[in-house]
A = this chain, B = another copy of it.
Amino acid sequence: MRVLTPVPLTREAFATFGEVIDIEGARQIPINQGLTTRFHDLLTLDCDAEGGHPVVSVFRTDPLHLPHTVSVMERHPLGSQAFIPMDAEPFLVLVAPAGDNVNAEDLLLFRTRGGQGVNFARGTWHHFQIVTGRRRDFIVLDRAGPGNNLEECTLTGEAIIPEEAASPH
């Protein structure tokens, strides 16, 4: 049984899984007579495959009970999926490398710094959204359109997200 320990989310560590959404490091454009800073173009929407288009939704998510045994991972073969928290608190992101199967040994658990979001690249294996502590809202940008955009995979091996993963230290 593998016990997952979260590591800090960085652009480098997440590069093969998608994008970190973060105003830190973004291009800044002053507008509106200097009252507004535009942090420009924070992510890449990849939603046009097979006649798809991007949709904007809100995910309102209740906390996942921990410890949580990871059993199923999912991926979206036709489009990216971005999560932007509507608050400044961290959240957990569980991903796995590309491949036909997902092995417990290959799972990677990240914890965001408050304010960060993630944009899963098309086809990236990930766990459904993990929220701890309290109910939270996220803006989600993903794809709608024809075709099957959800694949699931039963984990090979065993892994758990322990209770301690919820706390930032």
Question: A residues near B, CB below 8 A?
Answer: 21, 23, 26, 31-33, 35-43, 45, 53-64, 82, 84, 86-87, 128-129, 131, 139-141, 144
Contacts and interface: CB of A to CB of B under 8 A. Distances in A.
Copies assembled: 2
Contacts of A32: 61, 128-129
Given A41-B57, A45-B53, A86-B86, 17 more contacts: A23-B58, A26-B58, A31-B59, A32-B129, A36-B59, A36-B60, A36-B128, A38-B57, A39-B57, A40-B55, A41-B144, A42-B56, A42-B57, A43-B56, A56-B82, A56-B141, A139-B139
25 contacts: A23-B60, A32-B129, A35-B62, A35-B128, A35-B129, A35-B131, A36-B59, A36-B60, A36-B62, A36-B129, A37-B59, A37-B60, A39-B59, A40-B55, A41-B55, A41-B57, A41-B144, A42-B56, A42-B57, A43-B56, A45-B53, A45-B54, A56-B82, A86-B86, A139-B139
